[in-house]
Amino acid sequence: MIAFLTEDITFKLKEKLKHKAWLKDVAKVEGFKIGGLNYIFCSDAYLLDINQKYLGHDTLTDIVTFDNSEDPSILEGDIFISVERVRENALKFDTESSELKRVMVHGLLHLIGYKDKGKAQKELMSKKENEHLTNILIP
């Protein structure tokens, strides 16, 4: 099950069923199933608070992913996404149509086990994001 929720903002994800099908397909291609996955769209302030409380980071970010998986083949977790940060990054990188999708798949890839701390890890993560973004049929 995949749920799209909001905290402290008004936001509506368009084409929810298509997003769910795409995310399930990404998981399947990577050899996983989705158990319970929550995408929580929120503000910068809300995500900063989470970042400070749970990760000890005092910086703005576009996404924080919490892995709740018990079975290694079934993905479960909470993915918090700052809609403000995504919009700002979309303008900055001129990727308005795909930035939200990139962040959504980024969180899923974290649950799958991909990291983005070092240069090689970031390059692989970016490659995987691009690969899965080319297979999406959502405008």
Secondary structure E strands in 1-127: 2-6, 33-42, 63-67, 74-82
Q: Looking at residues 105-114, what average pLDDT do you find?
A: 97
* Rounded distance between C-alpha atoms, residue 125 and residue 117, angstroms: 10
Give residue 136's identity as a one-letter amino acid code: I
**pLDDT tens profile 76-106:** 999 999 999 999 988 887 776 689 999 999 9
Which pLDDT score is estimated for 92?
Answer: 84
Output DSSP code: residue 120.
Answer: H
Query: Which domains can be identified in the chain, with CATH numbers?
Result: 2-133 (3.40.390.30)
**pLDDT tens profile 25-83:** 999 999 999 999 999 999 999 999 999 999 999 999 999 999 999 999 999 999 999 99
As a three-state string, the secondary structure of 100-114 is HHHHHHHHHHHHHCC
**pLDDT tens profile 116-133:** 999 999 999 999 999 999
CA separation (Å) from 117 to 6, 84, 124, 137? Answer: 28, 23, 11, 30
Q: Looking at residues 12-20, what average pLDDT do you find?
A: 94
